[in-house]
Structure 1
Amino acid sequence: MAHFPVNHPARPLYRIVAGLVGLYILVFGVLGIVETWGSSLFSRESHWVLGLRVNLAFALVSVVFGVGLIIGASRRGNLGHYMNLTAGVVFMVTGLAMMTVLQTPANFLNFSMSTVIVSLLFGLIFLATGLYDKVGPHHHAAVENARPRMPEPEPQSRPR
């Protein structure tokens, strides 16, 4: 069974990190819409924004994801927890899928290798923030803190 820490002391920091990444994605999307306005939705032209290649479809998806992630990061309940875990998986799967079709006509989001790397990095960040921002009643946190942990291994002396 998976173990997610409840009421982790660094939870506000993780929510801020997730919100900042969501803000970056939103700004990227808005700038991408401005840059690619007038071109076709799935254009393969060389439009770059914030060091990443973009087309209008990718920019629109980025705006939607950015707004959603900012909303999730700003909520006090477990909505952000589940959104971050889901976003982490989505970014990882999308990055890997787009890497497999990078040099083919199936690259409909106009990814480049830098976009793949950033997508995988954001996936790891969202998975990490999702693991530690679960909220629960204080008695759940007390039960989790009272659970026996594995003892530290004793240092072994080296043979001389």
Structure 2
Amino acid sequence: MAHFPVNHPARPIYRVLAGGIGLYILVFGVWGTAQTLGDPLFDRDGNWVLGLRTNLAFSLASVIFGAVLIIGASRRGNLGHYMNLTAGVVFLVTSILMMSVLQTSANFLNFSMSTVIVSMLFGLILLGTGLYDKVGPEEDAEAQRMHRNHPVNESSAR
């Protein structure tokens, strides 16, 4: 099983990063929904919001996804940890899939290259925040600190 640091000192910063991404996605989704409300769900017109191309389906999905990320960032337990890991993978996979169909009729979410790049960046940031925002008992965190600072570990690292 993978090792995730427990009670990392920078955890509040990671939660703010994840919440900021969630807020951006939520604002993008609400603005995009307002702009594309009369259009067909998977329309491929040139609707741009906050520098990203969108349609009604992508905007509605962004509202839901942004709200979920904000909820995850606001929780103190490990819910945010798992949500950020999952969201990071979802963003990365979605951006790669959408990049592969960018210039085809299969681009049903109306992605552009800027949307792909932003999705990849958000995926990497969310994956990074998910790696360091795990919460656990203070005993586990102290055991990890002792293991990292043990003299045998220091000499083997050289």
Gap runs ≥5 in structure 1: 154-160
Deviation at 1:133, TM superposition (A): 0.3
1:115, 1:7 → 2: CA distance? 33
State the partner residue of 1:158: none
Aligned counterparts of 1:92 and 1:12: Cα–Cα separation in 2:
23
Determine the structure 1 residue equivalent to 2:89: 89
Q: Distance in 1 between matches of 2:13 and 2:34?
A: 32
Matched residue, 1:116 = 116
Q: Which residue of 2 aligns with 1:6?
A: 6
For residues 97 and 150 of structure 1, do their structure 2 counterparts lie closer, same or farther at Cα, with a shift above 3 Å needed?
farther
* AA partner of residue 108 (structure 1): F
Alignment partner of 2:39: what SS?
coil
CA distance in 1, matches of 2:23, 2:108: 24
Instruction: Assess, with a 3 A threshold, how the Cα gap between structure 1 residues 54 and 150 changes in structure 2: closer, same or farther.
Output: farther
Distance 2:142 2:3 in 1: 14
Give the number of the structure whose alpha-carbon radius of gyration is greater: 1
CA apart distance, 1:150: 5.1
SS in 2 for 1:83: helix
Partner AA of 1:76 in structure 2: R
Aligned-pair Cα RMSD in Å: 0.9
- Residue 87 of structure 1 deviates from its aligned partner by 0.1
Write the distance in 2 (CA, Å) between the matches of 1:17 and 1:141. Answer: 22
Residues in 1 aligned to 2:115 and 2:94: alpha-carbon distance in whole angstroms: 10
Task: Confirm whether residue 140 of structure 1 aligns to residue 140 of structure 2.
Answer: yes
Who is 2:61 aligned against?
Answer: 61
The one-letter code sitting in structure 1 at the alignment partner of 2:35 is E
Q: CA deviation at 1:37?
A: 1.1
Partner of 1:99: 99
| Structure-1 separation of matches of 2:130 and 2:111 | 25
- Which runs of 5 or more structure 2 residues have no equivalent in the other structure? none
Query: Normalising by structure 2, what TM-score?
Result: 0.94
> Within 2, Cα distance between the matches of 1:150 and 1:26?
45
**1:16 equivalent in alignment to 2:16:** yes
Would you say how many aligned residue pairs link Structure 1 and Structure 2? 153
Query: TM-score, normalised to structure 1's length?
Result: 0.93
* Structure 1 letter corresponding to 2:143: V
- In the alignment, the residues of structure 2 paired with residue 34 and residue 115 of structure 1 have an alpha-carbon distance, to the nearest angstrom, of 19
Identity across aligned pairs (percent)?
A: 70
CA deviation vs aligned residue, 1:16-43 (integer Å, no higher than 9, x gap) = 1100110000000000001111000000
1:2 positional shift = 1.3
The aligned amino acid for 1:88 is G
What is the match of residue 157 of structure 1? none
